Amino acid sequence: MAKTNKEASGSKLRSIKSLMIMYFTTITVIGMLFTGISLYERFNFTSEAFANKAVDQLLTQVKYSLDSYTRNMMNISNTLYYKIIKNQNISNNNFASEMSVIQTTNSDIASLAIFKSNGEVIANSKYAKLREDVQVTKQRWFQDSLSKPENIHFSNPHPQEIFEGYDQWVISLSRAISLNENGRIIQGVLLVDMNMKGIENICAGISEDDMGNIFILAENGDIIYGDEEQVSIYDKNMVGIEDGNYTRIINDNRILFTIKTAGYTGWKIIGSWRLDKILFTYAELNNFLIMVLVMGIIMCVIGTLFISSRLSSPLYKLQKSMKLVEEGQFDIHLDEGGEYIVAHLSKTFNAMVIRMKELMDEIVVEQDDKRKKELEALQSQINPHFLYNTLDSIIWLAESDKTEEAIMMITALSRFFRIGISSGKSIITVREELEHARNYLSIQKIRYKNRFEFEIIADKEALNAKTIKLILQPLIENALYHGIEYITYKGKITILANVYEGELVYSIKDNGVGMSEETVLMLLDKEQEIKTKGSGVGVKNVNERIKLYYGKTYGMRVESKLEEGTTIYIKIPLIYT
């Protein structure tokens, strides 16, 4: 029999060894996998972040260059526009020579011209000659300028077809102008044709087919620059997307899109890059992580075999003792000798058992205190004097034919008790707690014949937070009976619910008679008793309930000055579930 028990004990010890090997190895493998995956993801995230930043800066430079390019065109248009305005009569002008000078000094200008509203040329640069078969009034840029004379218009890229000898693609900047023709004001159009080569020079050096491309789209979705086929592959609705960086999967490739909006034209500048081309490979990192994982497992098994042989027997005793504690036996004390680790575990176990016994006793006392405080808080809401006085006020209002005020008071009383009872719940929302306070104040305002006014303000994010119930009403009652009641001027009570640094803070402020510094110190002192005119459940009760529920770091703070009023602050955790 003894041999059987010894074999059983040896079997258990071997089982503990196996468990230690399995646990330690598993923990090591999981830890190494977690570390490896975390490093891999971190490297990947950092690399993508740098890629996002780089392409964002690149496209910002393109946007800046494009803005400078269009701003230069607008400056040229503005220069001619103001010269035309200053000119007394278009019949005597030298616009053509000025246009020729501007075109000579700016290689991005394809042509400059001024037209009457009937399409007649008033002036153009000497390098441009109007085609005979062209009807200027049929041009889209011409019609847009006259239909919306208050705007400057940028056209989509199109072949230059109104002047002879120029076949390049241009973007037309046009605007309506008022012309003085021998004292008669007529409408005209100022045209500045921008050479598309300027935009191509800005974008062509950045676009690379194997890594990425740059597109420019007009506000209506038309392509200003870029391959139409490539744009349709990526997205036909890029115009509606806000500026920023976006990653999408297209044809099994991760594409990084960067979108910027040009300031003067509203054009969308869109850059697309293949992430697999701009990010470095992780093949070497993967191999290194696998090697470290294999070596870690081997070393873990060897180390665990050695350690488990030294720890298995004391640990088995510890296991038996823990089993007894699990069954509810706390009169256990382990020998604290042996290896340092085992001795430390035994010492910790003994301290844990003692502490568990103390905590269980504390929990019993604490739960009993909670029940008492909850009962006292509930009793404060069902104070007979408050109920009798309120019902007397309702009867008086009804007898005085003040039906509307009586109904308001009955409704407030009903809601007051409904929230106070809360189906037996101890935790309610801040919204409900504030509503409970509002109902109480509404009742008391009628009873006090409007001797005071009140205001309740709450942060939006605080309304749905959770709070223990019935913590505001006792403090409001205290403000009324000890502050507002003894003043000759109109009283005011302000209740705030704010979220501050991740915590919920109530404040109850009154403009009553205030308190001395000694009274403030006594107010929260458990050992001191202050007789109250109200329900008898006041500031100390609320403060103790808060500390019981949330811990000693939370509770109340009182600020008061004689003849100036009192403010009570309540701090509790910000909890939503």
pLDDT tens-digit profile of 108-130? 788 888 888 888 888 887 666 77
Which tokens hold the place of 356?
Answer: 């568990």
* Residues 256 and 55 sit within 8 Å (Cβ to Cβ): yes
| Predicted pLDDT at 332 | 74
| Predicted pLDDT at 231 | 63
| Predicted pLDDT at 209 | 52
CATH superfamily of 87-199: PAS domain (3.30.450.20)
Ranges of the chain whose pLDDT falls below 70? 1-17, 20, 36, 40, 44, 47, 87-88, 126-128, 166, 205-211, 227-240, 252, 276-287, 289, 307-316, 328, 330, 336-342, 364, 367-393, 396-402, 419-424, 526-538
| Predicted pLDDT at 491 | 94
Which tokens hold the place of 285?
Answer: 């990192």
CA distance linking residue 427 with residue 439, whole number of Å = 18
Helix ranges (H only) for 235-274 are none
In the chain, % helix, strand, coil (3-state, to 5) comes to 55, 20, 25
**In degrees to the nearest 10, what's the CA dihedral of 251, 257, 262, 266?**
50
CA distance linking residue 74 with residue 194, whole number of Å = 10
Q: What phi and psi, each to the nearest 5 degrees, are found at residue 140?
A: -60, -45
pTM more than 0.85: no
CA distance linking residue 306 with residue 101, whole number of Å = 93
Domain 382-573 has CATH 3.40.190.10: no
For 490-524, what is each residue's pLDDT tens digit?
999 999 999 999 999 999 999 999 998 888 888 87
> Residue ranges per domain, the chain?
87-199, 382-573
